[in-house]
Structure 1
Amino acid sequence: MPDRGEIRRVEASQGVDSQVRVFGVPPADKASPAEIVDGFLEAMTGDDPQLATARKYLTEDAAKNWKPSSAVTVLSSGLDRVPVQGEKDPDGPRWKVTGKKLATVDERSAYQPEIGGSRYEEYLQLVQVKGQWRIATPPSSLVLGESDFQRIYKPVNKYYFAGNTLVADPVYVRQRSDPDSRTNPTTLTVQSLLAGPSKWLGPVASTAFPTGAGLREGTKSLSYDGQNTLRVPLNEAGENVAQPQCQKMATQLLYTVRDLTTSRLDRVELLHSDGKSSLCWVTGSTAAGIANRPVPPQHQYYVDKDGRLVRMVLNPGADEQQQDKPEPAPGPLATAAGFKVGSAAVTYDEKRAAVVSEDGHGLYVVTLTTAGAMPQPLLTSRTGKLTAPSWDAQGDLWIADQDPQGQGLWRVPGGTGTPQKVDVAGLDGMKISGLKASSDGVRIALLVERDGGRKNLYIGRIERPEGKGDTSKVSVRELRPAAPQMAEVTAMSWAPRGRLLVVGRESGGVDQARYMLADGSMVAASLPGATGLSAIAASEDESKPVVASSTEDGIVWLPPGAQWRTAAAGGRAPFYPG
């Protein structure tokens, strides 16, 4: 029996059973207007991708022109429907349908949460057709409650290139095969990939597929063969490419489809439009080189109780006695007398460290490969309120100053030279109290503090000028909430497959550590017994354990399939390279 943790109210409709299939019921003969409206709204929640049953509640013209697949409106609960009272409509009764909007899913299948929620309202006009009531004005999009949405749709990552680095682009696809067209989720995901990146990621990402590239006409069901190979036939627009470009296309496909399922995928082969001859292929190892993902980290880092930067190697396969002891990070920090570290970040190649002094006034970049004296600070804060720094895979260094007179986000190109202030659209006077750049260099997670001290998590898109022009014009655009379910977020880290690992609490709850999808759509999973955590760190390498700072136990870590263990009795601010 649990002896601690939060008490949560459980609604009867909260559960989502992915094995349950829901089918609508056609309209009954001589059904009343109320029965037509109720039957139509229920039929919209069915597992029929073409919504054939729902269309039977519409007039012939409305059924032919209705395109609900172009967008989905997600409501926090079900729809309320009431007849419109007052002056009679000469065509027939009207019904108003309302609800609280949670999010929308656009035509590119991208999820966009509603900040603060807004009211959904549409009107259904009923008319008589051959003595039967039918709906002449259906909703402009498919409308689903949150539980129905999670039952019908599943989150997947599409992958595109930002420069030479592969970037995850989260979207939602139907998780049921269409029995009529035989289109399965794999095919739907590939079609979504070929359609291009989402609107949010589009300004900084591109696809290797040429314009007009698509699946060979008639392709309905894509699946692996006995050798764990996925063969994808393209149309004529997609086959006239050179081998390097073709392999980048196959790499996008491999990472996208591999993210869709737990089944093993070893190889992707692209086929010519004849559906038989090979265009190119990649294996997992070949694709890893093309994707240009960060190298797996060698160490975990933290600041010990004496203010020193230390590193360690946590081995999930070893017991406590066999673990290596933490050691001071090499370089000037190991010999700098009297210098104490407040927070730090290490480059992905683990050759340099960015450190903020314990008093929060100065940002320093030091080498971890050779000894020497401490350098001069690259950036200073007048009031000593620099946040922990963060590196991206392109070698740029990011940090924020919370000084009320000069607060803002700063970037140090290449970790050297003059810091440049970065324009962040949408901050509206809110203060950045924490940040973490993603390894792909195109997204940044910001802990933003509002009036009253409450912190919320946002994701911004990093836009860099093209070519070799003015690099000072790097900006962060289109902030979007990354954890709208949380009343407050206290710590966060990027995690594998473009997710976030977040420490926070829901309204009325207690602090917990949870994986979140980066588009803010849902909680992916929670960590066991994770209470009292003040900082947390995860690696892009899924084999590496989660490391955290506990107010009670110091530096702790979570081996796969186990409970939290203590790594160091004292210490704070744990992190992985990046």
Structure 2
Amino acid sequence: MGEARPRCAVPPHDPARSRAPAHQLPASGDPHRRRVQEADVIKRLACALLALLLVGCTDIQTTGPVQEVPMGSEPRGVQIAPEPPQPGVTPVRLVEGFVQAMAAPESDWAVARQYLTASAGALWRPRDGGTVYKGVVTEDEGAVMVRGTSTGVLDAAGRFTATGEELSHDFGVILVEGEWRIGLPPDGVLVSDYIFERYWSHMTVYFMAGSGDHVVPDLVHVPDTLLTPSRVVEAQIAGPSPGIAAAVRNAVGPRVRLAPEGASVDAEGTAAVALTGLGRDMPNDRRRLLGAQLLWSLTAIPRVTGLRITSDGEPFQLPEQNSDGVLQLSQQQGFQLLSRASTADLFGVRDGVGGRIGSTQAFLPMNSADERVAEVAVSIDGTLVGFIDETRTSVLVGPLGGALVRAAPTGLTGLRAAQFALGYLWAVGTDAQGVIRLLRVDAQGMITEIDTTPLPGAVVDFSITQAGVRVAAVVERSGLRQIVLASVVGGDKPRLEPALSLPLLVATDTRLTGFRGLDWSGETEFVVIADSGENRTVFRARMDGSLVEDLGPFSEEPVQISALPRPSGDAVVVRSKDDTVWRRDTNTRWSRLDGALQDISYPG
């Protein structure tokens, strides 16, 4: 629905929590998940609430008809309306105003540039990326600085890399014709975590798996006012993040560019994308991948349900498009792996028997070929099941409810962390030399071993995405544990690419430690057991570390966690040290399930 966009002043602090001095930059409250698919009415209500809480909101239109309009290059969402520097502004207020103005990218950050000296304004390049931080403005012996913690850095494409490093930046405030101005702006922009979570969109774009039969998600972060169909297409042209570049392919070819007409979305939800450089002789199989990748990526824009492409001004035909030349999203569901989920039941092991926990919480035993088992895993589509036997030295796999086969002997001990992705059972075990190996077992029981030496430590727990590309792992070295992300490449001969350490910081600026277990809860998020200070509890995190959310309170000592990977990411269970199982029912409440379990597992 179209509406007049409110333009609100950015609060100098979190209005819900902070009693900090006026120097304080926007501080983080408890983080809230923002989906780019939020309905427009929610955004209107959010801005109206800010108007009541804050001073300085102006130009909020409250009358006039509500009309449905097409969405072109004009972005949606709440806009920030910073003020230019006022005559006689003090150095501290100048820097605070500049920090607010950096949150408004309109007209190439025109307001923000007014806070700079002429030479600094000419050299400042806010489109080069930036830093997300928690911190305050301080003044010390005439130097005005931001001090705090960098939670991560953004590259020019909007990709976030978690850092957790100390931040200190001197703005080089000087007098210019009797007024204070900034001579040393930061590289890119400085974005407080408050603004990042409330005024930025965290959009999922997609690239194609090497097999060509499903899409693989990637995260890109942009200011709300820059979230347009054209920006989504530009993210496709820029290509995948380095962490998965070797494991995916970009169906948008290297010579393809966005045409001057750009991209837009009409009132029916059809995205029209004008490109150049698409070959007229492109075969249908490549056209099919192009259409699926672009259309799923454009779902970052609310209401998108279809896609129409032109190339060099001419209609570009896509397989499966309808008579109007539109490729419908409803025909592309097979490319989205999470759409294949067929059951939300919990599975587990009780006294050596694998079973399903039904809606009445009754434990329903499963066929495990008369074997006593330690773990059970079920594929996300509910067609395959795998068991690790009670001795943790062998694996059974086969169709759910059908005949099972014992996988070839591995010589590994301590098999654990059984899970399914792309029709394979995955697990880890230890060889005779004490080296931990990653296993991939097909439905016929054939095993492929994967070297884990690219990981910077011994694997404590791991989880692989349903797309089969990313592995999140808890690893331990010299008694210290950390979370790392690695990519799986190689197809029939899989290997792990070097892993990226992922520091996780909660709203209190505390770095999580003591990681115990983790599991993917969605395409781009995982849940993890970790220590925050002296408290061990459960957290949800984005895969790039750009959000860490406490799912507590949790009164027991958690030792195992499982989640059902789906877009909402709200199905999470935890097993405590005494084998009690707790399920998260709401945003803040955990309920205890009947009976003890020695293993828990959602499908996937």
**Fold conserved between structures, TM > 0.5:** yes
Q: Which residue number corresponds to residue 112 of structure 1?
A: 161
Displacement of 1:11 after TM fit? Answer: 4.3
Cα distance, 1:151–1:547 mapped onto 2, change above 3 Å: closer
**1:90-169 correspondence runs (5 A):** 97-114=146-163, 117-125=164-172, 133-163=180-210, 164=212, 165-169=214-218
**CA contact 1:251–1:291 (8 Å) conserved in 2:** no
Supply the AA of the counterpart residue of 1:137.
L
Q: Which residue number corresponds to residue 388 of structure 2?
A: 356
- CA-to-aligned-CA distance 1:377-400 (integer Å, 9 cap, x gap): 63344xx53322233215263314
Q: Provide the C-alpha distance between the structure 1 equivalents of 2:330 and 2:261, rounded to a whole number of angstroms.
A: 31
Q: 1:490 aligns with which of 509, 516, 521?
A: 516
Supply the AA of the counterpart residue of 2:241.
S
Q: 1:72 aligns with which of 119, 130, 133?
A: 130
Is 1:535 equivalent to 2:560 in the alignment? yes
**CA contact 1:390–1:399 (8 Å) conserved in 2:** no
Cα distance, 1:424–1:577 mapped onto 2, change above 3 Å: farther
**CA contact 1:303–1:342 (8 Å) conserved in 2:** no
Is 1:25 equivalent to 2:52 in the alignment? no
SS at match of 2:395: strand
Displacement of 1:32 after TM fit? Answer: 6.3
SS at match of 1:139: coil
Supply the AA of the counterpart residue of 1:355.
F
Displacement of 1:56 after TM fit? Answer: 1.3
Q: Which residue number corresponds to residue 343 of structure 1?
A: 375
Q: Larger relative contact order (C-alpha < 8 A, sep ≥ 6)?
A: 2
Q: Provide the C-alpha distance between the structure 1 equivalents of 2:326 and 2:596, rounded to a whole number of angstroms.
A: 50
**CA contact 1:396–1:414 (8 Å) conserved in 2:** yes
Displacement of 1:97 after TM fit? Answer: 4.8
Q: Provide the C-alpha distance between the structure 1 equivalents of 2:186 and 2:570, rounded to a whole number of angstroms.
A: 47
Q: Provide the C-alpha distance between the structure 2 equivalents of 1:130 and 1:434, rounded to a whole number of angstroms.
A: 61
Q: Provide the C-alpha distance between the structure 2 equivalents of 1:214 and 1:534, rounded to a whole number of angstroms.
A: 49
**1:220-235 correspondence runs (5 A):** 222-225=264-267, 227=268, 229-235=269-275
SS at match of 2:527: strand
Is 1:388 equivalent to 2:417 in the alignment? yes
Displacement of 1:217 after TM fit? Answer: 0.9
Is 1:246 equivalent to 2:287 in the alignment? yes
Is 1:406 equivalent to 2:434 in the alignment? yes
Q: Which residue number corresponds to residue 502 of structure 2?
A: 481
Cα distance, 1:524–1:245 mapped onto 2, change above 3 Å: farther
SS at match of 2:83: coil
What do you get for the CA RMSD once the two structures are aligned?
Answer: 3.9
**Percentage of matched positions with identical amino acids:** 18
Cα distance, 1:256–1:235 mapped onto 2, change above 3 Å: closer
Is 1:289 equivalent to 2:334 in the alignment? yes
- CA-to-aligned-CA distance 1:1-51 (integer Å, 9 cap, x gap): xxxxxxxx9644434896255433323446666665454344324464732
Q: Provide the C-alpha distance between the structure 2 equivalents of 1:167 and 1:433, rounded to a whole number of angstroms.
A: 26
SS at match of 1:490: strand
**1:121-520 correspondence runs (5 A):** 121-125=168-172, 133-163=180-210, 164=212, 165-176=214-225, 184-219=227-262, 222-225=264-267, 227=268, 229-238=269-278, 240=280, 241-261=282-302, 264-274=303-313, 281-291=326-336, 295-298=340-343, 300=345, 302-314=347-359, 320=360, 325-330=362-367, 333-334=368-369, 336=370, 339-348=371-380, 350=382, 352-360=384-392, 362-368=393-399, 375=406, 378-381=409-412, 384-393=413-422, 395=424, 397-401=426-430, 405-412=433-440, 414=442, 416-417=445-446, 419-427=448-456, 430-452=457-479, 455-464=481-490, 471=493, 474-481=495-502, 483-485=504-506, 486-512=512-538, 514-520=539-545
Cα distance, 1:497–1:419 mapped onto 2, change above 3 Å: closer
Supply the AA of the counterpart residue of 1:52.
A
Supply the AA of the counterpart residue of 2:499.
E
When normalised by structure 2's length, the TM-score is: 0.74
Displacement of 1:169 after TM fit? Answer: 0.4
**CA contact 1:354–1:363 (8 Å) conserved in 2:** no
Q: Which residue number corresponds to residue 68 of structure 2?
A: none
Supply the AA of the counterpart residue of 1:24.
P
Cα distance, 1:479–1:411 mapped onto 2, change above 3 Å: farther
Displacement of 1:528 after TM fit? Answer: 8.2
Q: Provide the C-alpha distance between the structure 2 equivalents of 1:35 and 1:14, rounded to a whole number of angstroms.
A: 20
Cα distance, 1:96–1:184 mapped onto 2, change above 3 Å: closer
**CA contact 2:489–2:495 (8 Å) conserved in 1:** yes
When normalised by structure 1's length, the TM-score is: 0.77
**1:2-21 correspondence runs (5 A):** 11-12=18-19, 13-15=27-29, 19=47, 20=50
Cα distance, 1:306–1:131 mapped onto 2, change above 3 Å: closer
Displacement of 1:492 after TM fit? Answer: 2.4
Displacement of 1:456 after TM fit? Answer: 4.1
**CA contact 1:342–1:358 (8 Å) conserved in 2:** yes
Supply the AA of the counterpart residue of 1:51.
W
Supply the AA of the counterpart residue of 1:169.
D
Q: Provide the C-alpha distance between the structure 1 equivalents of 2:17 and 2:90, rounded to a whole number of angstroms.
A: 35
Q: Provide the C-alpha distance between the structure 2 equivalents of 1:126 and 1:357, rounded to a whole number of angstroms.
A: 67
- CA-to-aligned-CA distance 1:276-301 (integer Å, 9 cap, x gap): 88765322332112446673234745
Q: Provide the C-alpha distance between the structure 2 equivalents of 1:49 and 1:284, rounded to a whole number of angstroms.
A: 34
Deviates more, 1:477-486 or 1:17-26: 17-26
Displacement of 1:102 after TM fit? Answer: 1.6
SS at match of 1:246: helix
Supply the AA of the counterpart residue of 1:223.
V
Displacement of 1:147 after TM fit? Answer: 1.3
Cα distance, 1:288–1:22 mapped onto 2, change above 3 Å: closer
Cα distance, 1:545–1:52 mapped onto 2, change above 3 Å: closer
Displacement of 1:108 after TM fit? Answer: 1.9
Cα distance, 1:97–1:505 mapped onto 2, change above 3 Å: closer
Is 1:521 equivalent to 2:546 in the alignment? yes
SS at match of 1:386: strand
**CA contact 1:76–1:101 (8 Å) conserved in 2:** yes
SS at match of 2:195: helix
Supply the AA of the counterpart residue of 1:363.
S
SS at match of 2:259: coil
SS at match of 2:270: strand
Deviates more, 1:117-126 or 1:247-256: 117-126
Displacement of 1:166 after TM fit? Answer: 0.7
Displacement of 1:515 after TM fit? Answer: 3.3
Q: Provide the C-alpha distance between the structure 1 equivalents of 2:427 and 2:186, rounded to a whole number of angstroms.
A: 45
Supply the AA of the counterpart residue of 1:569.
G
**CA contact 2:137–2:145 (8 Å) conserved in 1:** no
SS at match of 2:197: helix
**CA contact 1:29–1:132 (8 Å) conserved in 2:** yes
Supply the AA of the counterpart residue of 1:102.
T
Unmatched 5+ stretches in structure 1? 1-8, 85-93, 177-182, 315-319
Displacement of 1:73 after TM fit? Answer: 0.7
Supply the AA of the counterpart residue of 1:208.
A
Displacement of 1:174 after TM fit? Answer: 0.9
**CA contact 1:174–1:185 (8 Å) conserved in 2:** no
